[in-house]
Structure 1
Amino acid sequence: MTRYRVAVIGCGKVGALYEREAGRPKPASHAGAAVRDPRTELVALADTSPTALARAKKLFPRARAYSSASECLQTERPDIAVIATPVSARLSLVRLCLRYGVRAIICEKPLASSAVEAAKITRAVERSDAAFVLNYPRRFAPLFSRVRRAITSGALGAVQQVTCYYSNGLYNNGGHAIDSLLYLLGEDMKVRWAAVNKRAAHPPGDPCMDATLETKKGARVMLQSVDQKAYGIFDIRLFGTKGERSFIDYGTTLIEAAPRRSFFKEVRQLDRARARVHTSPEGNVLAETLKALAKKERPNGAKQGFTVLRTLDAIRHAAKKK
Structure 2
Amino acid sequence: MISGDVKTLIVGCGNIAGGFDVDQGSWPSTHAGAYKHHGKFDIAACVDPDKKKLEQFAANWKVKHSFSSIYEVKSYGLDFDVISICSPTPFHHSDVCEALKLKPKLIFCEKPLASKYEEAVDIKNMCEQAGVLLVVNHTRRWDPKVIELRNDIATGELGEIRSVVGYYNKGVLNNGSHMVDLLLNLFGSLNVVTAISAVNDYSIDDPTVTALLDTDSGLPVHLVASHASEYGLFELEIIGSKKTITMRDGGLNWSSRTIVENPRFKGYKNLTKDQYTEGRYSEAMIGAAENIYNDITRSEELLCTGLEACEAHKICCDLLNMALVNSK
* Equivalent residue number for residue 230 of structure 2: 230
Write out per-residue CA displacement over residues 72-118 of structure 1, whole angstroms, 9 at most, x where no aligned residue.
25622111100011222222322333332211111000011111111
Q: What SS does the aligned partner of 1:244 have? A: strand
Rounded Cα–Cα distance in structure 1 between residues aligned with 2:27 and 2:65: 22
* Equivalent residue number for residue 57 of structure 1: 58
* Equivalent residue number for residue 33 of structure 1: 34
* Equivalent residue number for residue 290 of structure 1: 293
Q: Which residue identity does 1:271 align to in structure 2?
A: T
Q: Is the 8 A contact 1:131 1:292 kept in 2?
A: no
Does residue 187 in structure 1 map to residue 202 in structure 2?
A: no
Q: Is the 8 A contact 1:147 1:245 kept in 2?
A: no
Offset at residue 248 of structure 1 (A): 0.5
Distance 1:147 1:66, change over 3 A: same
Write out per-residue CA displacement over residues 26-72 of structure 1, whole angstroms, 9 at most, x where no aligned residue.
53432233233211111000112223212222323433101121332
Rounded Cα–Cα distance in structure 2 between residues aligned with 1:11 and 1:41: 16
What TM-score does the superposition give when structure 2 sets the normalisation length?
Answer: 0.89
Rounded Cα–Cα distance in structure 2 between residues aligned with 1:62 and 1:94: 21
Q: What SS does the aligned partner of 1:202 have? A: strand
Rounded Cα–Cα distance in structure 1 between residues aligned with 2:308 and 2:79: 27
Rounded Cα–Cα distance in structure 2 between residues aligned with 1:164 and 1:123: 31
Q: How does 1:82-121 map to 2 (within 5 A)?
A: 82-121=84-123
Rounded Cα–Cα distance in structure 2 between residues aligned with 1:167 and 1:230: 10
Rounded Cα–Cα distance in structure 2 between residues aligned with 1:221 and 1:185: 10
RMSD, aligned α-carbons: 2.2
Rounded Cα–Cα distance in structure 1 between residues aligned with 2:171 and 2:104: 31
Rounded Cα–Cα distance in structure 2 between residues aligned with 1:34 and 1:6: 9
Distance 1:196 1:41, change over 3 A: same
Q: What SS does the aligned partner of 2:207 have? A: coil
Offset at residue 281 of structure 1 (A): 3.0
What percentage of aligned pairs have identical amino acids? 24
Rounded Cα–Cα distance in structure 1 between residues aligned with 2:266 and 2:317: 46
Rounded Cα–Cα distance in structure 2 between residues aligned with 1:297 and 1:128: 20
Q: Is the 8 A contact 2:192 2:319 kept in 1?
A: no
Offset at residue 278 of structure 1 (A): 4.2
* Equivalent residue number for residue 320 of structure 1: 324
Offset at residue 205 of structure 1 (A): 3.1
Q: Of 149, 152, 156, which aligns to 2:154?
A: 152
Q: Is the 8 A contact 1:18 1:24 kept in 2?
A: no
Offset at residue 318 of structure 1 (A): 1.0
Q: How does 1:236-247 map to 2 (within 5 A)?
A: 236-247=236-247
* Equivalent residue number for residue 5 of structure 2: 3
Offset at residue 295 of structure 1 (A): 2.4
Q: What SS does the aligned partner of 2:235 have? A: strand
Offset at residue 265 of structure 1 (A): 4.4
Write out per-residue CA displacement over residues 204-248 of structure 1, whole angstroms, 9 at most, x where no aligned residue.
532222111111111111111222332212110001122111101
What TM-score does the superposition give when structure 1 sets the normalisation length?
Answer: 0.90
Q: Which residue identity does 2:291 align to in structure 1?
A: E
Q: Is the 8 A contact 2:195 2:209 kept in 1?
A: no
Q: Is the 8 A contact 1:130 1:298 kept in 2?
A: no
Q: Which residue identity does 2:13 align to in structure 1?
A: C
Q: Which residue identity does 2:313 align to in structure 1?
A: L
* Equivalent residue number for residue 249 of structure 1: 249
Q: What SS does the aligned partner of 2:245 have? A: strand
Does residue 303 in structure 1 map to residue 311 in structure 2?
A: no
Q: Is the 8 A contact 1:3 1:40 kept in 2?
A: yes
* Equivalent residue number for residue 219 of structure 2: 219
Q: Of 75, 80, 83, which aligns to 1:81?
A: 83
* Equivalent residue number for residue 176 of structure 1: 178
